[in-house]
Amino acid sequence: MAAERGEFSSRLGFILAAAGSAVGLGNIWKFPFEVGNGGGAAFVVMYLLFCFLLCFPVMTAEIAIGRKTRRNAVGAFYSLNSPAWSFIGKLGILSGFLILSFYNVVAGWAFGYVVEMLAGNFDIGNHFGDFVADWIKVGSYGLVFMATTAYIVSHGIQKGIERAAKLLMPSLIIIMVVLLAYSLTLDGAMDGLKFYLVPDFSKINGPVVYSALGQAFFSLSLGMGALITYGSYLNRDQNIVQSAALITLMDVGIAFLAGLMLFPFVFSQGVEPTGGAGLIFVTLPGVFENLGPVVGVVVGTLFFTLLSFAALTSTVSLLEVPVAYVVDEHKVPRTRAVWLTAILIFVVGIPSLLSNGATSIFTNFMQIIGIAQEGATDHSFMTFVGWVANDTFLPLGGMLISIFAAYIWKKENLSEELAQGNENYIGSYTEKYINFAISYLAPVVLSIIFVLTVLNRFFNIQLIG
């Protein structure tokens, strides 16, 4: 059975695939602009706290549930004799659908930038607005991206997901280090670093906390069963706690480096860092242009290639979640499951595709349904989907997974699974902390923030300033 489902060939393969899932647009595109909107270093501090104290323990629980049951995000709960709790997995699959539907649109932009730059369109950054509004063009790039994702997933675990991650992740890190080194030499780099690294805690308010939490979950690919699914392909000899720690470190490290690279670029141009979604697509290409035609094109193309690679290992994991479900539970052959799901998600993404200037119906979506927030400039459908899926469903999923692991499956069983491949686990401080975090910290903190987020985002009620 295990052989039929597929398995990662090695620990490195698993870690790279899971880190590949984690590292994506979330780190390189979303994290910097969330920092820009959320007041700089104060946001960074909140994000780091959430990642290490709260998300890391939840991650070990997710992977353990997957490996124990060797089943997909929904089936795993059946295997643990808790069919009623399988709604967690169903919620996860829904979140995955929603996330991939808009994620693929942005991935299509990144890929489109590579093509445009190679075709001699160096100043594409000046035409970002027209570019994203041209739905036929960006729709085609998105379609190619989704097809590439599907192609990889259709080749299964070792030959598809693992192989792609082993190739793409190291390339990404190399490109990133080169760009970082360059950015630190620019005039204005210091101002960028100051904004990024010196926290002003007066800037922390409710929305900053909600976004930081949503970002932590999103960035770690947590709370929707992606890691249950990847864990289900993990071998019993592997140390889950150590792997989860490495995945968290790599993810946080790369997000951190992305900021370190980006803010010097942004400040060297004398631009405000609050550019939102356009930060990476408008501001950065402007910087590349100033480097002159040759260097600019090389650096620009490299950067957007990096972004596309990062996105690809993430879209692969997002697609794998529903695919694993359909393959395991409904016995659909993998190839067919992959292509059908990919097409469906692409179709679900069409409103997001159109919400960036092609039509105003979707753009003003939040105003139309009456949840637009005062002072907010972005009322698009895509932002709305992000609020629902990233900021609401993922932390909710994380809370439910913690409660399930601690009280339904039971801590002892979790510990037993985490001790496989980690002899000294039982009785260690790590065990004590993980148990504390999933039994008390995560359920309490996540349920409070869940209520506050829903009130704030969807009813515009702000209980805590």
Report whether 312 contacts 108 (CB < 8 A).
no
Residue 153 sits in the site that holds ligand TRP (CB under 6 A): no
Residue 317 sits in the site that holds ligand TRP (CB under 6 A): yes
Residue 314 sits in the site that holds ligand TRP (CB under 6 A): yes
Residue 393 sits in the site that holds ligand TRP (CB under 6 A): no
Residue 228 sits in the site that holds ligand TRP (CB under 6 A): no
Residues near 387 by beta carbon (within 8 Å), at least 6 away in sequence: 457, 458
Residue 380 sits in the site that holds ligand TRP (CB under 6 A): no
Distance between CA atoms of residues 54 and 398, nearest Å:
10
Residue 24 sits in the site that holds ligand TRP (CB under 6 A): yes
C-alpha dihedral sign at 81, 85, 90, 93: negative
Specify the residue, 196 or 230, whose C-beta has the smaller distance to ligand TRP: 230
Of 73-81, 215-223, 324-332, 432-440, the segment contacting ligand TRP by CB under 6 A is 215-223
**CB 297, min distance to ligand TRP, A:** 26
**CB 219, min distance to ligand TRP, A:** 4
Number of residues that bind ligand TRP (CB under 6 A): 16
Distance between CA atoms of residues 52 and 40, nearest Å:
19
Specify the residue, 183 or 313, whose C-beta has the smaller distance to ligand TRP: 313
Shortest CA distance to 229 belongs to which of 452, 8, 451, 464? 8
Report whether 340 contacts 323 (CB < 8 A).
no
Of 81-89, 157-165, 220-228, 326-334, the segment contacting ligand TRP by CB under 6 A is 220-228
DSSP state of 123: G
Distance between CA atoms of residues 321 and 113, nearest Å:
28
Residue 308 sits in the site that holds ligand TRP (CB under 6 A): no
Round the CA-based radius of gyration of the chain to a whole number and report it.
Answer: 21
Among 77, 218, 265, 450, binds ligand TRP (CB under 6 A): 218
Shortest CA distance to 134 belongs to which of 109, 102, 104? 109
Specify the residue, 25 or 161, whose C-beta has the smaller distance to ligand TRP: 25
Distance between CA atoms of residues 149 and 338, nearest Å:
9
Residue 280 sits in the site that holds ligand TRP (CB under 6 A): no
Percent helix / strand / coil, the chain, rounded to 5: 80, 0, 20
Tell me how crowded residue 168 is: count the other CB atoms within 10 A of its CB. Answer: 22
Question: In the block, which residue shows the tokens 């979303």?
Answer: 30
Among 17, 88, 99, 449, binds ligand TRP (CB under 6 A): 99
Among 15, 18, 22, 366, binds ligand TRP (CB under 6 A): 22
Residue 219 sits in the site that holds ligand TRP (CB under 6 A): yes
Nearest residue to ligand TRP on Cβ basis: 26
**CB 397, min distance to ligand TRP, A:** 9
What is the contact surface with ligand TRP in residues (CB under 6 A)?
21-22, 24-27, 99, 218-219, 221, 224, 226, 314, 317-318, 394
